[in-house]
Structure 1
Amino acid sequence: MRLTDFWARLEESFGPVYARSIAADHSFAGLGDRTIDKAIADGIDTATIWRAVVAAYPDRVPSRLR
Protein backbone atom coordinates (compact mmCIF):
# COMPACT_ATOMS: atom_id res chain seq x y z
CA MET A 1 0.00 0.00 0.00
CA ARG A 2 1.38 3.40 -0.93
CA LEU A 3 1.74 5.95 1.85
CA THR A 4 -0.71 8.30 0.14
CA ASP A 5 -3.29 5.49 0.03
CA PHE A 6 -2.71 4.78 3.71
CA TRP A 7 -3.35 8.43 4.68
CA ALA A 8 -6.42 8.60 2.45
CA ARG A 9 -7.90 5.53 4.16
CA LEU A 10 -7.08 6.82 7.63
CA GLU A 11 -8.60 10.22 6.89
CA GLU A 12 -11.70 8.69 5.32
CA SER A 13 -12.20 6.48 8.36
CA PHE A 14 -11.54 9.08 11.06
CA GLY A 15 -11.65 12.50 9.43
CA PRO A 16 -8.52 14.52 8.66
CA VAL A 17 -8.00 16.08 12.10
CA TYR A 18 -8.69 12.98 14.19
CA ALA A 19 -6.63 10.82 11.82
CA ARG A 20 -3.56 12.98 12.44
CA SER A 21 -4.21 12.87 16.18
CA ILE A 22 -4.43 9.07 16.15
CA ALA A 23 -1.24 8.89 14.10
CA ALA A 24 0.68 11.02 16.57
CA ASP A 25 -0.84 9.98 19.90
CA HIS A 26 -2.21 6.42 19.87
CA SER A 27 0.21 3.55 20.51
CA PHE A 28 -0.84 0.34 18.78
CA ALA A 29 -0.11 -3.05 20.32
CA GLY A 30 0.06 -4.50 16.81
CA LEU A 31 2.93 -2.15 16.05
CA GLY A 32 4.97 -2.99 19.13
CA ASP A 33 3.38 -0.12 21.07
CA ARG A 34 4.47 2.39 18.40
CA THR A 35 2.38 5.25 17.11
CA ILE A 36 1.61 5.33 13.40
CA ASP A 37 4.07 8.18 12.95
CA LYS A 38 6.83 6.21 14.72
CA ALA A 39 6.03 3.03 12.76
CA ILE A 40 6.30 4.93 9.47
CA ALA A 41 9.57 6.51 10.60
CA ASP A 42 10.86 3.06 11.55
CA GLY A 43 10.09 1.74 8.06
CA ILE A 44 7.17 -0.52 8.96
CA ASP A 45 5.18 -1.42 5.84
CA THR A 46 2.01 0.67 5.55
CA ALA A 47 -0.13 -2.43 4.94
CA THR A 48 1.05 -3.77 8.31
CA ILE A 49 0.26 -0.45 9.94
CA TRP A 50 -3.19 -0.40 8.33
CA ARG A 51 -3.94 -3.90 9.64
CA ALA A 52 -3.05 -2.70 13.15
CA VAL A 53 -5.44 0.26 12.78
CA VAL A 54 -8.25 -2.00 11.58
CA ALA A 55 -7.64 -4.41 14.48
CA ALA A 56 -7.70 -1.57 17.02
CA TYR A 57 -10.74 0.20 15.55
CA PRO A 58 -12.88 -2.45 13.82
CA ASP A 59 -16.08 -0.42 14.15
CA ARG A 60 -14.60 2.79 12.71
CA VAL A 61 -13.07 1.41 9.51
CA PRO A 62 -15.60 0.81 6.74
CA SER A 63 -15.59 -2.77 5.48
CA ARG A 64 -14.68 -1.64 1.95
CA LEU A 65 -11.41 -0.16 3.30
CA ARG A 66 -10.28 -3.21 5.26
Structure 2
Amino acid sequence: MRTSAFWRLMDDEFGGGYSRTLARTIVLADLGGRTPEEALGAGISPRDIWVAVCDLQDVPPERRLGKDITPK
Protein backbone atom coordinates (compact mmCIF):
# COMPACT_ATOMS: atom_id res chain seq x y z
CA MET A 1 0.00 0.00 0.00
CA ARG A 2 1.25 3.46 -0.87
CA THR A 3 1.07 6.35 1.56
CA SER A 4 -1.48 8.04 -0.73
CA ALA A 5 -3.76 4.99 -0.44
CA PHE A 6 -3.40 5.13 3.36
CA TRP A 7 -4.58 8.75 3.39
CA ARG A 8 -7.44 7.97 0.99
CA LEU A 9 -8.64 5.21 3.32
CA MET A 10 -8.27 7.47 6.35
CA ASP A 11 -10.25 10.23 4.63
CA ASP A 12 -12.94 7.78 3.45
CA GLU A 13 -13.43 6.35 6.91
CA PHE A 14 -12.98 9.36 9.18
CA GLY A 15 -13.43 12.41 6.95
CA GLY A 16 -10.77 14.72 5.56
CA GLY A 17 -10.34 16.96 8.58
CA TYR A 18 -10.71 14.42 11.35
CA SER A 19 -8.42 11.86 9.69
CA ARG A 20 -5.48 14.28 10.01
CA THR A 21 -6.28 14.99 13.66
CA LEU A 22 -6.60 11.28 14.36
CA ALA A 23 -3.27 10.59 12.66
CA ARG A 24 -1.56 13.12 14.95
CA THR A 25 -3.18 12.08 18.21
CA ILE A 26 -4.02 8.39 18.54
CA VAL A 27 -1.28 6.15 19.88
CA LEU A 28 -0.86 2.76 18.28
CA ALA A 29 0.50 0.39 20.91
CA ASP A 30 0.93 -2.31 18.25
CA LEU A 31 3.41 -0.03 16.46
CA GLY A 32 5.63 0.89 19.37
CA GLY A 33 3.44 3.56 20.89
CA ARG A 34 3.66 5.80 17.82
CA THR A 35 0.95 7.94 16.27
CA PRO A 36 0.13 7.07 12.65
CA GLU A 37 2.11 10.13 11.49
CA GLU A 38 5.12 9.06 13.56
CA ALA A 39 4.83 5.52 12.24
CA LEU A 40 4.81 6.78 8.64
CA GLY A 41 7.87 8.90 9.41
CA ALA A 42 9.61 5.87 10.91
CA GLY A 43 9.13 3.94 7.68
CA ILE A 44 6.49 1.52 8.94
CA SER A 45 4.33 0.10 6.17
CA PRO A 46 1.21 2.21 5.54
CA ARG A 47 -0.76 -1.05 5.39
CA ASP A 48 0.39 -2.06 8.87
CA ILE A 49 -0.51 1.40 10.14
CA TRP A 50 -3.96 1.22 8.52
CA VAL A 51 -4.63 -2.18 10.09
CA ALA A 52 -3.56 -0.88 13.51
CA VAL A 53 -5.81 2.20 13.14
CA CYS A 54 -8.73 -0.02 12.09
CA ASP A 55 -8.20 -2.34 15.05
CA LEU A 56 -7.98 0.53 17.53
CA GLN A 57 -10.97 2.40 16.10
CA ASP A 58 -13.11 -0.75 15.62
CA VAL A 59 -13.49 -0.25 11.87
CA PRO A 60 -15.51 -3.25 10.66
CA PRO A 61 -13.96 -5.56 8.05
CA GLU A 62 -16.43 -4.50 5.36
CA ARG A 63 -15.09 -0.93 5.51
CA ARG A 64 -11.36 -1.64 5.70
CA LEU A 65 -10.86 -1.66 1.94
CA GLY A 66 -12.42 1.73 1.32
CA LYS A 67 -15.68 2.95 -0.11
CA ASP A 68 -15.48 1.40 -3.57
CA ILE A 69 -14.11 -2.05 -2.72
CA THR A 70 -16.08 -4.76 -0.95
CA PRO A 71 -14.33 -7.80 0.56
CA LYS A 72 -14.93 -11.24 -0.94
TM range (shorter): 0.7 to 0.9
Larger Rg, first or second structure (1 or 2):
2
Structure 2 CA distance for partners of 1:16 and 1:62, relative to 1, 3 Å? farther
Equivalent in the alignment of 2:26 = 26
Structure 2 CA distance for partners of 1:43 and 1:32, relative to 1, 3 Å? same
Equivalent in the alignment of 1:13 = 13
Q: What secondary structure, in the 3-state scheme, does the structure 1 residue paired with 2:5 have? A: helix
> Offset of 1:64 from its aligned partner?
3.7
Native 8 Å contact 1:23 1:35 kept in 2? yes
Q: What RMSD in Å do the two structures reach over aligned CA positions?
A: 1.5
Extract unaligned runs of 5+ from structure 1: none
TM-score (norm: length of structure 1): 0.87
Extract unaligned runs of 5+ from structure 2: 66-72
Distance 1:65 1:4 in 2: 15
Native 8 Å contact 1:13 1:62 kept in 2? no
Q: What secondary structure, in the 3-state scheme, does the structure 2 residue paired with 1:44 have? A: coil
TM-score (norm: length of structure 2): 0.81
Following TM superposition, where does structure 1 have runs of at least 4 consecutive aligned residues deviating by more than 4 angstroms? Answer: none
Native 8 Å contact 1:6 1:46 kept in 2? yes
Q: Does 1:3 align with 2:8?
A: no
